[in-house]
Amino acid sequence: MDAPRHLLSGAAGVDSVDLDACMGPARVVDVGEVGSIGSELLSSLLSPVACVERLLLKSRCSSGDPQARHPTFPALEPAAAEALLRAGLVLLGVDAPSVDPADSQELPVHRTLLEAGVVLLENLWLAGVPPGDYELVALPLKLVGCDGSPVRAVLRTLPSR
């Protein structure tokens, strides 16, 4: 988990992350083999986008060896991050090493989401998790002043209504 302090000087550490954002209904979406994740792709996969507060993006990073490094991975485009913010996103999880491209120096997606208080989870392992709606619990360790923390992310199938 990345806390705002991960990039923003003087911002809150992981011990101040809103735990309500880390627990609750979540949607897993498979973005497939794309090179980047734009707002058009998200709109086509989420209907409507506004109904998702916690979103987990599954990609090719969740296949193969869980210890493998992914030098290229699908990252969010800044416009997609802004669209998710407008829709009320409180948590974004990805199976990639970052929400920004590997060669990004400015990290615009990190900055946009962390400034807005969105909780970021990276390096999730979503192999065997079909797209759909779940209950997510992903609590950080209470590491005072730290910019990030490991989490044990758990998805539970929602009961049928």
Amino acid at 52: V
Runs of H (alpha helix) within 9-118: 39-45, 78-86, 108-115
Provide the annotated active-site residues. Answer: 6
Give me the CATH number covering residue 13. 3.50.30.50
Note down pLDDT in tens along the chain; length 161 residues.
988 887 777 778 889 999 999 999 999 999 988 989 998 888 888 776 566 899 999 999 998 777 777 778 999 999 999 999 988 999 999 999 999 999 999 999 999 999 999 999 999 999 999 999 999 999 999 999 898 999 999 999 977 76
The residue range of the domain holding 21 is 4-157
Number of domains in the chain: 1
Q: Are strands 119-121 and 132-137 parallel, antiparallel or unpaired?
A: unpaired
